[in-house]
């Protein structure tokens, strides 16, 4: 079924002709932290923007702004700090902070997590924490299924703005070592600022069909 959703996704959102090699699958135990459809998604698309809004992150990317392996713990630490100071609570579907595995962010500072099933690893959840407040949106499905349904306007994500996704979809790959920084998230929330929380690394978007660095 996972491959069916990936096939549908590639028909809804055409992948780039080439994928940036500047990321790698985590070695050893870390590889188990990512679902199969996410790793397949990275192999087909790599890091980049979906409809100029949702940014797919890559595991252990050399650009810290695109590194899901680094950003995830940063985001979770921020959420834990809010839980300790203002009493923010995890949604009931999330049993522990350690279950949150980052896979994407948005221009609004929203943080997208994958949550493995404790009893059934194939029972995935997609959980999105809003960048501007403590609202969560949880969906009982894998990442590929989530993207297909969202892009087809068959899934409402309450924390996302009403004007996304677009009617005509695009994927814009991202590469490192460019003088152009990513767009700044407009939110003033502390966690939104963590979505792209490094000062030294920069990224740029590239056109479809362009060769990747």
The mean pLDDT value for 173-201 works out to 46
Rounded CA-CA distance 21/43 in Å is 9
Going by DSSP bridges, is the β-strand pair 48-50/54-56 parallel, antiparallel, or unpaired? antiparallel
What mean pLDDT do residues 50-55 have?
Answer: 96
**Domain edges within the chain:** 2-205
Q: What is the pLDDT of residue 202?
A: 45
Q: Give φ, ψ of 78 to 5 degrees.
A: -65, -40
Rounded Cα distance between 189 and 197, Å, is 13
Global model pTM greater than 0.85: no
Give yes or no for residue 210 having a pLDDT over 50. Answer: no
Average pLDDT along the chain: 77
pLDDT at site 195: 44
CA distance 198 to 67: 11
- In whole angstroms, give the CA distance from residue 121 to residue 85: 32
**Which tokens belong to 155?**
């899934």
CA separation for the pair 18, 48 (Å, rounded):
12
Rounded Cα–Cα distance for residues 167 and 169 (Å): 6
CA distances from 77 to 52, 70, 104, 182 (A): 27, 11, 17, 23
Residues of the chain above pLDDT 70, percent:
69
Closest to 66 in 3D by CA, of 195, 211, 207, 210: 195
- What does the pLDDT look like over 186-199, one tens digit per residue? 333 445 444 444 33
């Amino acid at each position: 079924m996972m491959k069916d959703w990936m096939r549908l996704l590639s028909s809804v959102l055409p992948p780039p002709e080439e994928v940036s090699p500047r990321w790698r699958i985590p070695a050893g135990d870390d590889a188990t932290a990512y679902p199969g459809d996410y790793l397949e998604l990275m192999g087909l698309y790599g890091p980049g923007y979906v409809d100029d809004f949702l940014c797919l992150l890559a595991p252990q990317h050399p650009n810290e702004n695109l590194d899901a392996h680094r950003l995830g713990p940063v985001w979770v630490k921020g959420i834990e700090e809010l839980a300790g100071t203002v009493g923010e609570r995890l949604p009931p579907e999330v049993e522990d902070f350690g279950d949150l595995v980052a896979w994407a962010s948005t221009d609004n500072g929203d943080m997208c997590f994958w949550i493995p099933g404790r009893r059934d690893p194939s029972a995935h959840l997609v959980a999105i924490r809003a960048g501007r407040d403590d609202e969560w949106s949880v969906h009982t499905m894998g990442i590929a299924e989530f993207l297909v349904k969202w892009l087809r306007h068959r899934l409402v994500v309450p924390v996302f703005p009403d004007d996304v996704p677009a009617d005509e979809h695009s994927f814009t790959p991202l590469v490192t070592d460019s003088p152009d920084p990513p767009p700044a998230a407009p939110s003033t929330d502390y966690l939104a600022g963590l979505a792209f929380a490094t000062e030294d690394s920069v990224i740029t978007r590239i056109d479809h069909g362009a060769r990747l660095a």
